[in-house]
A and B are shown apart, each in its own frame.
Chain A
Amino acid sequence: MLDAIKTYLHSTVTPGEAGSQLWATVYIIVIVLGVSIAVIAMNWLERKILAHMQIRLGPMRVGPHGLLQPFADALKLLIKEDIIPRNADKLVFWSAPVVVTMTAFTTFLVVPFGRTHAVTDMNIGVLFMLGISSLGVLGIIMAGWSSNSHYPLMGSLRSSAQMVSYEVAMGLAIVCAVLMTSLNPTGTGTLSMIGIVEAQNAQGTWFIFKFFPLGFLAFVVFAIAMVAETNRAPFDLPEAESELVAGFHTEYSGFRWSLFFLAEYSAMLAVSSIAVTLWLGGWLRPFANTLSGPAWDMAFSLIPGLSFLAMAAGCFLGTVRMPKIIQMRAQAIGLGVFGALLALVGLVLLAPGVRERVEDIFWFVAKVACFMYLYIWYRGTFPRYRFDQLMKVGWKVLLPIGLGVLILTALVGMRQELLAAVIGGGR
């Protein structure tokens, strides 16, 4: 047992490739826990950042700076009455949140947090992720249909129409990135998530900068389509509060509703990890070309630990700046303890053995976190699209751009062969 653990720590492949069921199980558990914690953190961050964008404070009373607010919410949702409408289709109503949550979590099977930090390396990884994450819309339609109510039905119809339209543009953008992976001597590309990141490593550039501005355009198409795909503002028509109450989950309450919430946020994490893998170099550290060499490698590997220490310093600063009154003492102590925990994590990440092993996870998560911030930022800024505007953006703007970029990428990628053919044909 101990030997199995020890041997794996020096492994250079994922547990799936190594055929280690034990480690695959451990990874799955860790990823499920990690995603759940990320969703809890997102809940708090979204409320805080959104509040600050609207010049409010957000949650301040439950724990220091409202840090315990998500836990209070979760407790509230768990002890809420769980209502199933009398005329609802019970079986479908029951299974809809399960389908949505399961599809959202299954996608993380192939997400590469590092060269060795994925459950498995599937040779059709991107296809698998797209397929599974589009299955999520099935759960939404089930929820809307089984509720036997007008608003959920209209919400789920909107959701399916939206997903179908944006899936096309999204697919075209993804094919661009997949085409770019085939620019190697053998001329064969890959759909494997790990293979795509390794292709970016081998070509020495992230695909967002490849064939500028083609890679960037494909990325923009994907970045817009993925917001629509996850039903987030400004494309949140399926759950437009002003029109449809709460959209497809109007009739859900308590734990079932929280499953939808969990699924929405983990789907956001999943599509963000697709974007990071395909265009932003996955787990690769930034400036690998310009700032190369052992010294820079060392400096960049210190960043994870240092960033945790910086967050801890922020917590301690918050503790010092807390109003000096008796009612705030518990909160000040709580914030101090939280800061101490962050500092501890930072110190662990600075240790040499851990540092090299965990650095890739940090870069991946940091890039995904940028996308999460963008999601909140969009929600704090943009008003909701009308449905015809949404369709117009999907079919008349994103789809032609995606097609054009795809064709141009193929032409630019094949330019030497094309030239040779033209010249050869001329002779």
Chain B
Amino acid sequence: MSLTPFLRRVLMVDLVKGLSVTFHNQSEKQRVTEQYPLERPVVYERYRGQPRLKVNPETGEPLCIVCNLCALACPEQLIVVKGERNPATKRKEVVSWTYDLSRCMFCGLCAEACSTDALELTQDYEMALYSRDGMVLDQAALEHGPEPVRYAK
């Protein structure tokens, strides 16, 4: 038996090393736990969460021109857009817009395909529901946008 490993065992070097690791772990800098409802997690800038349909802030009209590109781009085919041409303005207008969140995988291809930047995936991540009923979003829900939960008594 050579001397160094013997001394390491006798002086319990490995045990002391382990003790120092756990001791340094106590520092506040090491801590990663977030107290979720009280502390909001920091979401990355390009995080893809709940979808939203933008409206023209001045007129309140939807920006969507019913080009159907998003529905074509969607790999899950969960977007259904129906529109009708308005004879007066000669533009297509939305009749119904549905987005099935329960099948969405948040790939973001729909938002990329959108020709008018009307559809975006926001940074809201609180999309859990007690049943599937509320998961198919219609135009009103999409335009209203996500409603982050406020935890208060």
Flag whether A34 is at the interface (Cβ < 8 A): no
Q: Size range of the interface on B?
A: 10 to 19
Contact between B18 and A382 (Cβ–Cβ < 8 Å)? yes
Closest B residue to A374 by beta carbon equals B19
Q: How far is the CA of A328 from the CA of B22 in the complex (A)?
A: 30
From residue A379, how far is it (CB to closest CB) to chain B in Å? Answer: 10
Q: List residues of chain B with CB within 8 A of the CB of A60.
A: 35
- Contact with B15, one of A52, A53, A382 (Cβ below 8 angstroms): A382
Contact between B18 and A57 (Cβ–Cβ < 8 Å)? no
Contact between A53 and B33 (Cβ–Cβ < 8 Å)? no
Contact between A52 and B25 (Cβ–Cβ < 8 Å)? yes
Contact between B35 and A57 (Cβ–Cβ < 8 Å)? yes
Pick the interface stretch among A22-30, A298-306, A319-327.
A319-327
Indicate with 1 or 0, residue by residue over A171-185, a CB within 8 angstroms of chain B CB atoms.
000000000000000
Contact between A327 and B152 (Cβ–Cβ < 8 Å)? yes
From residue B45, how far is it (CB to closest CB) to chain A in Å? Answer: 24
- Contact with B33, one of A57, A325, A328, A380 (Cβ below 8 angstroms): A57
Q: How far is the CA of A60 from the CA of B37 in the complex (A)?
A: 13
- Contact with A380, one of B22, B30, B151 (Cβ below 8 angstroms): B22
Contact between B152 and A326 (Cβ–Cβ < 8 Å)? yes
Contact between B39 and A323 (Cβ–Cβ < 8 Å)? yes
Contact between B25 and A53 (Cβ–Cβ < 8 Å)? yes
Q: Is the interface of B mostly helix, strand, loop or mixed?
A: loop
Flag whether A10 is at the interface (Cβ < 8 A): no
Closest A residue to B17 by beta carbon equals A381
Q: How far is the CA of A381 from the CA of B16 in the complex (A)?
A: 10
Q: List residues of chain B with CB within 8 A of the CB of A327.
A: 38, 151-153
Q: Size range of the interface on A?
A: 10 to 19
Closest A residue to B30 by beta carbon equals A55
- Contact with A381, one of B21, B33, B152 (Cβ below 8 angstroms): B21
Q: List residues of chain A with CB within 8 A of the CB of B18.
A: 381-382
Closest A residue to B12 by beta carbon equals A220
Q: List residues of chain B with CB within 8 A of the CB of A326.
A: 152
Q: How far is the CA of A398 from the CA of B30 in the complex (A)?
A: 37
Closest B residue to A52 by beta carbon equals B26
Query: Within residues 35 to 59 of chain B, which ones have a CB less than 8 A from any CB in chain A?
Result: 35, 38-39
Q: List residues of chain A with CB within 8 A of the CB of B38.
A: 323, 325, 327-328
Q: How far is the CA of A36 from the CA of B22 in the complex (A)?
A: 28
Q: How far is the CA of A326 from the CA of B18 in the complex (A)?
A: 41
Contact between B26 and A53 (Cβ–Cβ < 8 Å)? yes
- Contact with B26, one of A49, A323, A325, A328 (Cβ below 8 angstroms): A49
Flag whether A20 is at the interface (Cβ < 8 A): no
From residue B24, how far is it (CB to closest CB) to chain A in Å? Answer: 9
From residue A280, how far is it (CB to closest CB) to chain B in Å? Answer: 19
From residue B34, how far is it (CB to closest CB) to chain A in Å? Answer: 9
Closest A residue to B31 by beta carbon equals A55
Q: List residues of chain B with CB within 8 A of the CB of A323.
A: 38-39
Sorted nearest first, the 8 A-B pairs with minimum C-beta distance are: A52-B26, A53-B22, A381-B22, A57-B33, A381-B18, A380-B22, A53-B25, A55-B30
16 sample A-B contacts, Cβ–Cβ < 8 Å, listed by A number: A52-B26, A53-B25, A54-B25, A55-B30, A55-B33, A56-B33, A57-B35, A323-B39, A327-B38, A327-B152, A328-B38, A377-B22, A377-B23, A381-B15, A381-B21, A381-B22
